[in-house]
Amino acid sequence: MIKLIDQLYSDNDLNEKELLYLLNNLDQESRNYLMKKAHETRMAHYGDAVYMRGLIELSNYCKRNCVYCGIRTTNNKAERYRLSLDQILQCCEIGYNLGYRTFVLQGGEDDYFSDDKIVNMIKSIKDKYADCAITLSLGEKSYESYKKYYDAGADRYLLRHETASKKLYKSLHPGMRLENRIQCLSDLKSIGYQVGSGFLVGLPNQRNEDYVKDLLFLKDLNPHMVGIGPFIPHEHTPLKDADKGTVEMTTTLIGIVRLLLPKVLLPATTALGSIDPLGREKGIQFGANVVMPNLSPTNVREKYALYDGKICTGDEAAECRQCIEGRINRAGFSINMSRGDHKDWSEV
């Protein structure tokens, strides 16, 4: 097992059989070794820096019906909201004054936010905060729409592939196609975005064979960012009684991704922090180097409930900033408030 991890560390690659063998046979000792190697790799490329991004949750209206997600369209118990441009700019102002230089604008697929509105929003933010990066996470759009946002000044786009298993994808995303999601990722890349993909861990019926597909898919896509988080059930979804993903499996996969894609930007996700009080710290120890504290107005935080037990719903932006900084420092890392672009990224 140690030999296989060494091979992954030095080649940044393993084939399908080897990855499956690794996942099937990882014990405590080899998991510790994986952590050590993932840590060495992050230190070599990014040092002990953990990049901070301010997350703004624009809207919880969504036309999609992803079976695991609390804001799916058929959840009529969800109390819907959307932020106005003024509210969004206020979040940016608060975030900017706290030192954030990346804003992540995330939301359900809400057609109220037309391309014109999104373009206007991007331009308004860039007008005021030209030194900030804008990351969008607004789901599947056409090439033309992605291009308009990019031309308006958006820098990055997050679109998890969710799961690279065709069968699982189909069962969890009614009316959606994995091929389409992959097409979106390829469009985003060709337009010039820094692109983030990623997947859920611990979905019902998800097996090691499925994670191997996720890992091979990511190796092939070679994105700039990879978001990996545990699935957590939401009480008003069909998966309400399902088991959640584990910290162990999530951090193992974070560690493997750090070795497969040494320079990737890898968040310790809020979902990971929601299933374990030290979840994000554990992710960081396995090579994660990004966190996304919440900048949304506190009165909408609980409404943007993708899963149950989301952390930090009551804290003001400044408290979140302080809390996460303390956590990162105590874990032996340092926060970095810069734009935090991918290491190989340079703007032309």
Q: How far is CA 288 from the centre of its chain?
A: 11
Closest separation between CB of residue 307 and ligand SAH, Å? 4
Closest separation between CB of residue 109 and ligand SAH, Å? 5
Which pair of tokens denotes residue 286? Answer: 């396995």
Which pair of tokens denotes residue 89? Answer: 């700019």
**DSSP letter assigned to residue 90:** H
Nearer to ligand SAH, 121 or 200 (CB): 200
Task: Pick the closest to residue 121 from 174, 66, 74, 58 (CA basis).
Answer: 58
Nearer to ligand SAH, 176 or 278 (CB): 176
Closest separation between CB of residue 163 and ligand SAH, Å? 9
Nearer to ligand SAH, 196 or 287 (CB): 196
Nearer to ligand SAH, 213 or 234 (CB): 234
Q: At what angle do helices 2-11 and 16-25 cross, to 10 degrees?
A: 140
Closest separation between CB of residue 309 and ligand SAH, Å? 10
Closest separation between CB of residue 33 and ligand SAH, Å? 28
DSSP 30-59: HHHHHHHHHHHHHHHHHTTEEEE-EEEEEE
In angstroms, rounded to a whole number, what is the distance separating the alpha carbons of residues 345 and 348?
A: 9
Cα angle for residues 121, 190, 182 (degrees, 5° grid): 90
> Residue-wise over 98-128: b if at least 16 C-beta within 10 A, else e?
bebbbbbbbbbbbeebebeebbebbebbbee
Q: At what angle do helices 28-46 and 2-11 cross, to 10 degrees?
A: 20
Closest separation between CB of residue 2 and ligand SAH, Å? 32
A 10 A CB-CB count for 336 gives 18
Closest separation between CB of residue 239 and ligand SAH, Å? 7
DSSP 144-172: HHHHHHHHHT--EEE---B-S-HHHHHHH
Nearer to ligand SAH, 103 or 231 (CB): 231
> Residue-wise over 146-166: b if at least 16 C-beta within 10 A, else e?
bbbbbebbbbbbbbbbbbbbe
Closest separation between CB of residue 227 and ligand SAH, Å? 7
Task: Pick the closest to residue 227 from 163, 138, 145 (CA basis).
Answer: 163
Task: Pick the closest to residue 37 from 334, 289, 264, 257 (CA basis).
Answer: 257
Contact positions toward ligand SAH, by CB under 6 A?
Answer: 68-69, 106, 108-109, 137-139, 159-160, 162, 200, 229, 231-232, 234, 271, 306-307
Closest separation between CB of residue 55 and ligand SAH, Å? 10
Nearer to ligand SAH, 5 or 138 (CB): 138
Nearer to ligand SAH, 37 or 141 (CB): 141
Nearer to ligand SAH, 269 or 285 (CB): 269
